[in-house]
């Protein structure tokens, strides 16, 4: 039960919208259970013997970026978090179609998952085009909060990298202010093109191509001190 000391985590927004296609629904029932991270504390580096690194993607949307990165780096174990069931169903389809053995999917809140992982276990974290919650009264629902920044600093090993991307100007300012306020991160940008131009290893998704925000996409890369 929820109490003042241990409030329940809550993922805001729609958990499901349109009906899930039959094939994707079948994969959610059959494949997803086998690629979920284990319950309780776990080290992602141990989920794939011989993995060179472990990465985390928070809010993977339809899973296109996560799956493409996993295909590029079969030596890396990638854990993705997404509470939106339609996105999870899409991601499971990508995993199945591409035969990816280096992806694990947590269909729930990233904060709950992060709390179960050990210090210094991750080499990279991606937060790409998260829900901006544009109304001021909803800003507390944004994933980038001081507490989450501190948790990501705990999970990333020294030299590990955090990437935040958005096409909402207000969220860009919000995230930059809060991440730079942390004593644990350095911003790698030296000139405007370092954040205005997509990084060489970035993978454009269909959501990004829709240009639903109010500015051109920006990409902030940070390094764990």
Average pLDDT, the chain: 92
Q: Is residue 6 part of a domain?
A: no
- Is 57 annotated in a binding site? The answer is yes
Model pLDDT, residue 207 = 83
Query: DSSP string covering 76-133, please?
Result: EEEEEE---HHHHHHHHHHHHHHT-SSEEEE-S-HHHHHTTS-TT-EEEEEEES----
* Both tokens assigned to 122: 């991750």
Taking CA atoms, 98 is separated from 66, 93, 95, in Å, by 12, 8, 5
15 pLDDT band, cuts 50/70/90, is low
Q: Is residue 15 part of a domain?
A: no
Q: Is residue 4 part of a domain?
A: no
Q: Is residue 9 part of a domain?
A: no
The residue-averaged pLDDT of 39-58 equals 96
Q: Give residues with Cβ within 8 angstroms of 121, minimum separation 6.
A: 43, 44, 45, 54, 155, 157
pLDDT in tens, 117-162: 999 999 999 999 999 999 999 999 999 999 999 999 999 999 999 9
Q: Is residue 57 part of a domain?
A: yes
Share of the chain above pLDDT 90, in %: 88
More confident position, 12 or 180: 180
Model pLDDT, residue 196 = 97
- Is residue 107 annotated as a catalytic residue, yes or no? no
Query: What pTM, to 2 d.p., does this model score?
Result: 0.92
pLDDT in tens, 78-103: 999 999 999 999 999 999 999 999 99
- Is 131 annotated in a binding site? The answer is yes
Q: Is residue 14 part of a domain?
A: no
Q: Is residue 55 part of a domain?
A: yes
The residue-averaged pLDDT of 99-113 equals 97
For the chain, the domain total comes to 1
* Structural domain of 172: 22-224
The answer to whether residues 144 and 127 touch, using CB atoms and an 8 Å cutoff, is: yes
Given a cut of 80, is residue 13 above it in pLDDT?
Answer: no
Residue 71 host element (H or E): helix 64-72
Model pLDDT, residue 170 = 96
- Is 205 annotated in a binding site? The answer is yes
The answer to whether residues 92 and 153 touch, using CB atoms and an 8 Å cutoff, is: no
> Which candidate in 96, 131, 184, 221 is catalytic?
131
Q: Is residue 7 part of a domain?
A: no
Model pLDDT, residue 205 = 87
- Is 30 annotated in a binding site? The answer is no
Residue with tokens 């979920």: 36
- Is 82 annotated in a binding site? The answer is yes
3 pLDDT band, cuts 50/70/90, is very low
More confident position, 8 or 65: 65
Residue with tokens 């051109």: 216
Given a cut of 50, is residue 6 above it in pLDDT?
Answer: no
- Is 167 annotated in a binding site? The answer is yes
Residue 224 host element (H or E): strand 218-224
* CATH number of the domain enclosing 203: 3.40.50.150
pLDDT in tens, 28-43: 999 999 999 999 999 9
């Amino acid at each position: 039960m929820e109490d003042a000391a241990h409030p329940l985590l809550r993922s805001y927004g729609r958990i499901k919208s349109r009906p899930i296609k039959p094939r994707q629904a079948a994969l959610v029932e059959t494949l997803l259970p086998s690629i979920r991270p284990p319950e309780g504390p776990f080290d992602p580096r141990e989920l794939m013997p011989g993995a060179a690194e472990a990465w985390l993607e928070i809010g993977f949307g339809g899973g296109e970026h996560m799956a493409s990165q996993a295909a590029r780096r079969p030596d890396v174990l990638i854990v993705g978090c997404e509470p939106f069931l339609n996105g999870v169903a899409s991601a499971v389809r990508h995993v199945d179609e591409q035969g990816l053995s280096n992806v694990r999917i947590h269909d729930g809140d990233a904060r709950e998952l992060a709390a179960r992982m050990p210090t210094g276990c991750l080499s990279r974290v991606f937060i790409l085009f998260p829900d901006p919650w544009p109304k001021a009264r909803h800003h507390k629902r944004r994933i980038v909060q001081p507490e989450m920044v501190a948790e990501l600093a705990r999970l990333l090993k020294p030299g590990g990298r955090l990437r935040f991307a958005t096409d909402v100007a207000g969220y860009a300012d919000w995230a930059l202010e809060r991440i730079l306020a942390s004593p644990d991160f350095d911003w790698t940008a030296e000139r405007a093109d370092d954040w205005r131009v997509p990084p060489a290893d970035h993978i454009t998704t269909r959501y990004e191509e829709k240009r639903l925000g109010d500015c051109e996409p920006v990409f902030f890369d940070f390094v764990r001190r």
